Amino acid sequence: MSGVLSSSIGRKVAMAASAFFLMFFLLQHFVINLTSIFSADAFNELSHFMGTNPAVQFALQPVLIFGVVFHFVMGFVLELRNKQASVKYVKNNGAANSTWVSRNMIYSGLAILAFIVLHFIDFWFPEINHKYIANLPEDPSRYYGELVHKFHSPVRTGAYVAAFAFLALHLLHGFKSAFQSSGMSAKRAAKLETVSKIYAIGIPVGFIIIALFHHFNQH
Amino acid sequence: MDMNLKLKIWRQNGANDQGKMVDYSLSDVSPDMSFLEMLDVLNEQIINEGGEPIAFDHDCREGICGMCSLYINGEAHGPDRGITTCQLHMRKFKDGDTIYIEPFRAKAFPVIKDLVVDRTAFDRIQHQGGFISVNTSGNTQDANSLPISKHAADEAMDAATCIGCGACVATCKNSSAMLFVGAKVSQYALLPQGQVEAADRVRNMVAQMDAEGFGNCTNTGACEVECPKGISLDNIARMNREFFKANI
């Protein structure tokens, strides 16, 4: 089996598997964040559950972090190996046969990585500090206030909006590509085209709306 | 109307030479010429001037053999679709055009000279399983006695039309050979004759593809667009399925 995972196809499918996991996580993250527009209480309740449930904290969270790290590391490894395999042309017309997003997944991925670092600094590190380092008393109603406070800054809001635009670019190719890598025929993958576009554009645009809503709705 | 062209052509004196683009001018090019005939005329001009003719691959000049290559104005086999370089005609260009002509580039396709590249990596992949072992002692089963669905027969035939020219590798930003290997795996995976050796075939061919140093597919789809035979990306997906079936 180790031979399978070190093969080019094995790496490709592993990349797709981690992408599926991250896309599922992104969807549930979006659904929870979306509640913050409609109900502070619902957002607080869901966030409190996610932040304190032992199964989420000690089983799902490590798997998520592994999934994120794996996807990035494997992405870099594949990019480096592909660079080693190729030789540059003096004149290359890539636009004649493929989309810009499909050829530049590494750059949209790097932008998302930079965003995740910012996101961890904004939310994840303070959360870990609150619960496990400073051991501050648990307050189930603090989450909504923390979220709204973060989107006070126009610079941070702008950075989030830009990052979600890169996320949309990444997903526009990545969603379909993950299905194809895992062996789905191009014809079936083509049928997913609409779902792919709805997910790739809908989720990032939704995140942008949430960020802008809280930025312009400061009390 | 005959055309006057500026040509920028890759010249490289062997695999260890660094190589460079060299400028040429060619007058009175007929739009009815094939691209390779245009290069023939240029070579005559170079020879008459006492120079070294440009080396380039060609054989049947009918789009069948897969020998001609060339990366023309940034595209494998030039700007037209569904053709090899030998089927490209000068009517696709305009008077005064500057045309860039480069060899198919990939680490696994080292330049032999000028525009000629070594594509024997494909042969070595084929040697690892791109065939079926048939006892030809005289009592071979008639292939027509095996029921095969029309759909499978058509898809196998489509995969088998791959001529192994290497345009898929040349156009892929990762220099991946997965369209080629996918087609060679698929043409047997779809037919009963290919089942007996299916697992070994896909395992060994993929291992050789990796050993040759080809890159990894990222599903840009450029290979399918530039393939002169229109080999579908479906063949890559099928190869992936066959590979996992063989290893689980």
Other CB atoms within 10 A of residue A58 CB? 9
Residues in contact with B68: Cβ distance below 8 Å, sequence separation at least 6, in sequence order: B36, B56, B57, B58, B59, B61, B77, B84, B85, B86, B165
> Å from A62 to nearest chain B CA?
27
Tell me the three-class secondary structure of chain B, residue by residue.
CCEEEEEEEEECCCCCCCCEEEEEEEEEECCCCEHHHHHHHHHHHHHHCCCCCCCCCCCCCCCCCCCCCCEECCEECCCCCCCCHHHCEHHHCCCCCEEEEECCCCCCCCEEECCEECCHHHHHHHHCCCCCCCCCCCCCCCHHHCCCCHHHHHHHHHHHCCCCCCHHHHHCCCCECHHHHHHHHHHHHCCHHHCCCHHHHHHHHHHHHHHCCCECCCCCCHHHHHCCCCCCCHHHHHHHHHHHHHHC
Q: Are A130 and A201 in contact (CB under 8 A)?
A: no
Among the partner residues B171, B206, B233, nearest to A9 by beta-carbon distance:
B206
Question: What are the chain B neighbours of A103 within 8 Å (beta carbons)?
Answer: 173, 220
Instruction: Report the residue of chain B nearest A175, measured CA to CA.
Output: B219
Average pLDDT, chain A: 93
- Judged by CB atoms closer than 8 Å, whether chains meet at A99 and B8 is answered as no
Higher-confidence residue: B141 or A197? A197
**Cβ–Cβ gap B173/A89 under 8 Å:** no
Task: Provide ipTM, 2 decimals.
Answer: 0.92
Copy the structure tokens of residue A104: 């530049």
| Chain B contact present for A194, CB below 8 A | no
- Calpha distance B150→B19 (Å, rounded): 49
Identity of the residue numbered A164: F
Q: Distance (Å, rounded) from C-alpha B155 to C-alpha B235?
A: 9
d(CA A99, CA A109): 16
Q: Of A4, A108, A182, A8, whose CA–CA distance to B217 is shortest? A: A8
Nearest CA in chain B to A98: B222
Rounded CA-CA distance B25/A60 in Å is 66
Q: Quick one: pLDDT band at residue A193, thresholds 50, 70, 90?
A: confident
- Model confidence at B175: pLDDT above 90: yes
* Helix/strand/coil for A153: coil
Q: Which fold has domain B120-247?
A: Fumarate Reductase Iron-sulfur Protein; Chain B, domain 2 (1.10.1060)
Given the DSSP bridges, would you call strands B116-117 and B111-113 parallel, antiparallel or unpaired?
Answer: antiparallel
Nearest CA to A36 out of A103, A113, A123 is that of A123
Tell me which of A66-80, A106-120, A130-144 is least confident: A130-144
Place of tokens 């949309």: A168
Q: Does A95 touch chain B (CB under 8 A)?
A: no
Single-letter amino acid, residue A77: V
List all residues 6 or more positions away from B222 whose beta carbon is below 8 Å from its beta carbon.
Answer: A94, A97, A98, B171, B172, B173
Question: How confident is the model over A110-133, as pLDDT tens digits?
Answer: 999 999 999 999 988 998 888 889
- In degrees, rounded to 5, the angle at the alpha carbon of residue A17 between the alpha carbons of residues A12 and A23 is 125
* Structure letter (DSSP) for residue A96: G
Angle between helical axes of B198-211 and B120-127 (0-180°, round to 10): 150
Alpha-carbon span B215 to B193, nearest angstrom = 30
Check if A113 contacts B (Cβ < 8 Å).
Answer: no
What are the Cα distances from residue A47, in Å, to A16, A26, A57, A118?
28, 15, 12, 19
User: Which has the higher per-residue pLDDT, B136 or A25?
Assistant: A25
Q: Taking residues B80-100, what's their average pLDDT?
A: 97
Q: Does B240 contact A182 at a Cβ distance shorter than 8 Å?
A: yes
pLDDT at B101 over 90: yes
> What mean pLDDT value characterizes chain B?
96
Residue B117 phi, psi (nearest 5): -120, 155
Q: Assess B104–A contact: CB distance below 8 Å, yes or no.
A: no
pLDDT at position A219 is 60
CA distance A27 to A213: 19
**Which of B20-24, B48-52, B93-97, B136-140 comes out lowest in average pLDDT?**
B136-140
A:147-186 residues touching chain B, CB 8 A cutoff: 173, 176-177, 180-186
Is some CB atom of chain A closer than 8 A to the CB atom of B231? no
Domain ranges within chain B, ordered by starting residue: 3-113, 120-247
The answer to whether residues B205 and B186 touch, using CB atoms and an 8 Å cutoff, is: no
- Superfamily, domain B3-113: Beta-grasp domain (3.10.20.30)
pLDDT at residue A1, as a whole number: 55
Interface of B with A in 43-102 (CB under 8 A): 71, 73-75, 79, 100, 102
Helices A193-216 and A154-181: crossing angle in degrees, nearest 10, is: 170
- Give CA–CA dist A120/B41, Å, rounded: 64
What's the pLDDT at A120? 93
How far the first Cα of chain A sits from its last, in Å, is 57
* Residues A43 and A144 sit within 8 Å (Cβ to Cβ): yes
Please provide the DSSP assignment of A184-205 as one string: --HHHHHHTHHHHHHHHHHHHH
The total number of residues shown for chain B amounts to: 248
Instruction: Name the one residue in this structure whose structure tokens are 């051991």.
Output: A135
Per-residue pLDDT averaged across A34-44, rounded?
96
